[in-house]
Structure 1
Amino acid sequence: MMSAYIDFIRIRFLMMLAYRVNYYSGIIIYAINIGAYYFLWQAIYGDKETLAGFTVNQMTTYVAVSWMARAFYFNNLDREIANEIRDGSVAVQLIRPYSYLLVKMMQGFGEGLFRMLLFMVPGMIIVCLIFPVTLPTEPMTWLIYLVMLFFSFLINSQINILTGLFAFFVENNEGMMRMKRVMVDLFSGVVVPIAFFPGWLSAIMQWLPFQAITYLPSSVFTGRTPDSEIGQVFGLQVIWFIGLLVPIWWTWRAARRRLFVQGG
C-alpha cells in the first residue's frame, strides 16, 4: 500500500517537471526578493555590528536561507482541497481505497522535492555568488537543518490542509487562505525574524506553530542557536507536528459528516 503513496510523489514530481520553465523564472524573482531584503537590512544595520542577536553576516545568510527554504515547503494544498470540495470531486476521492489527506501530503512532498532540486538548490548557488552568504561547514549542521526543513514542510502542509478543510464548512474560504498565507510569511520569520518582534508579540509566537516553519530551522543553520539548544528547538517542531494532527483529525471527522456536493 505504501508503494501506491510513493507513486503519488513521483506523479506530482513529473507533473511539476512539465512546467519547470515557470520555476526557472521563479529563481530570478526570489533572487530579487533576497537582494531587496539584503540592501534593506544593510541600511537598517548601518554602523551597528549586531541587532537582536543577529550579526550582519548572520542576517544575510538568514534572509537567503529563509527565502530559499520557502521554495521547498511552500505548496497550494489548501487551494487544491478547497477546489475539490467546491466542485464535488472530493466525493470520488473519498470512495477510493486510500487516505485522502495522506495522498495530499504525498503530492505536496512531490512538489517540494521538485522545488528543492530545480528551484532551491540552483537558486541558492546563484544567491551565494551574488551576496555575501556564509554557509556552515559542519556536515552535522547541514544534516540537522535538512531534517528540520522536512518538518517545516510537514507543519506548513498541515496548516494548509487544515485551512483547505474549512471549505467543508464555509464553502468559500478564499479570504481565509489569503490570511493564512500572510500570517505564515510574517509570523514564521520569513519577512522579519521573530527576534525583532515586540516582547509581547514574541511571547505569543512561542505558543503558535509558525516559528517552527522558518525561524527555528534558519536560526540553527546560521549558528544563532547554540548547540546545546538544538535538541530543544527540534523538539518544538516535533511537538507541533504531533499537536496539529489533532485538529486535522477532528476537522476531517466533522467534515465527512456534512459533505454535500453542489452541481452535477
Structure 2
Amino acid sequence: MSHTTAVDRALIVISFKRRLAYKSGWVFGLALGGGAMLISMAMWHNLLGTGSLSGYDWESMRAYLIIGFIAATMVFGASDFTIADRILDGHIAVDMTKPVDFQRARGAEYIGSMISTAPTAAVGVLGAWLLFDPPGPATPVAGVLTAVSFLLLFPLAFGITYLSILVCFWTKRYLGIMWLREALLSFFSGMMIPLAFMPGWLQAVSWALPFPHFTATPAAIYLGQVDVPGALGLIAAEAAWVVGLWFAGRLVFRFAVRKVTVHGG
C-alpha cells in the first residue's frame, strides 16, 4: 500500500470515528429525514391511489422515495463545514505547508463522514420497508448497477461540495452557499419531485447538470425504466461528472490560493 493511500484511509477512519462520537446526530438525522420520507409516502399514496402519474404508480413511488431518502441522508449528513472552516479561519495556510494534497485529504475526510451516515440510512430504510413494503429491483442486474450508482455518489457529492466551499475564498461566508447548493441539489436531482413531473425544458436543464445522478439515475436503474445499455450510459455520465468536478476543483483551488487573501493572512 502506498503512503498516499495509507493517508487517505487514515483520514477516512478518523473522520468516520469523529462523526460516530455524535450519536445524537444519528437520531436527529433519522427524525428529520425519516419523518420527511414518511410524510412524502403519505402524500403520494393519497395523490396516486390506484392510478399513476407520468409513469409512476404507488408501488414504484415507494421505492423512489426510499432511494431519495438514502441519497439525501448520505449527502446532507456529510461534514462540509469542517472544510469551509479551514478556509474561513485561515488554517488552510498551515495545510499548504503539509506534504498532503489539500483536495485529496478533504475528500477522504468528507467520504468518511458520508460513510458515518450509514446507520441512519439503514434504520430509515428498514422502517420504510416494514411499513410500506416497496418493490425490489427490476432485475438482479438492475440491483447491482443501482449499487454502483450509489457508490459513485461519494466522489460526486464531494466534487460538488468542494467547489461550493471554494467560493468561501471570495465570500468569506459559507452558510448561504450551503443553503443554495442544497436547494439546487434537492430540486434538480428529483428529491423533491421526480423529474418526469417537470416540463420538458426543465428536465433537459436538469439532465445537463450533475444533480439528477443523486436520485433520478439510481431510481431509473432500480425500477427498470432504462435497459442495461441505458443504465450503463447513466453510470458513465455520472462517472464523467466525478472526473470533471475533481479537475474543476483543482483548477479553482489553484487560482483561489494565488489570487485571494484570507483574513489578511
TM-score by length of 1: 0.91
Root-mean-square deviation (CA), in Å? 1.9
1:11 aligned counterpart, secondary structure: helix
88-97 vs 129-138, which deviates more? Answer: 129-138
1:33 maps to which residue? 36
Q: Percent identity?
A: 24
Separation in structure 2 between the aligned mates of residue 27 and residue 121 of structure 1, nearest angstrom: 10
Note if 1:18 corresponds to 2:21: yes
* Alignment size in residue pairs: 262
1:206 CA displacement = 1.9
Alignment match of 1:3 (pick from 3, 6, 27): 6
Gaps of 5+ in 2: none
Separation in structure 2 between the aligned mates of residue 22 and residue 78 of structure 1, nearest angstrom: 15
Separation in structure 1 between the aligned mates of residue 79 and residue 164 of structure 2, nearest angstrom: 9
Separation in structure 1 between the aligned mates of residue 190 and residue 161 of structure 2, nearest angstrom: 17
**8 Å CA contact retained: 2:11, 2:109:** yes
**8 Å CA contact retained: 1:58, 1:222:** yes
- In the TM superposition, structure 1's runs of 4+ consecutive aligned residues that sit over 4 Å from their partners are 75-78
1:114 maps to which residue? 116
Note if 1:134 corresponds to 2:135: yes
1:73 maps to which residue? 75
- Which one-letter code corresponds to 2:31 in the other structure? I
List aligned pairs for 1:161-176, cutoff 5 A: 161-176=162-177
**8 Å CA contact retained: 1:75, 1:157:** no
TM-score by length of 2: 0.91
2:101 maps to which residue? 99
**8 Å CA contact retained: 2:71, 2:215:** yes
21-30 vs 3-12, which deviates more? Answer: 21-30
Deviations 1:29-79 (A, max 9, x none): 32221111111112222442x211122211111001211232123355543
1:185 maps to which residue? 186
**8 Å CA contact retained: 1:12, 1:111:** yes
**8 Å CA contact retained: 1:188, 1:210:** yes
1:241 CA displacement = 1.3
Separation in structure 1 between the aligned mates of residue 84 and residue 17 of structure 2, nearest angstrom: 23
1:245 maps to which residue? 246
Gaps of 5+ in 1: none
**8 Å CA contact retained: 2:70, 2:125:** yes
**8 Å CA contact retained: 1:77, 1:161:** no
Note if 1:156 corresponds to 2:160: no
2:219 maps to which residue? 218
2:117 aligned counterpart, secondary structure: helix
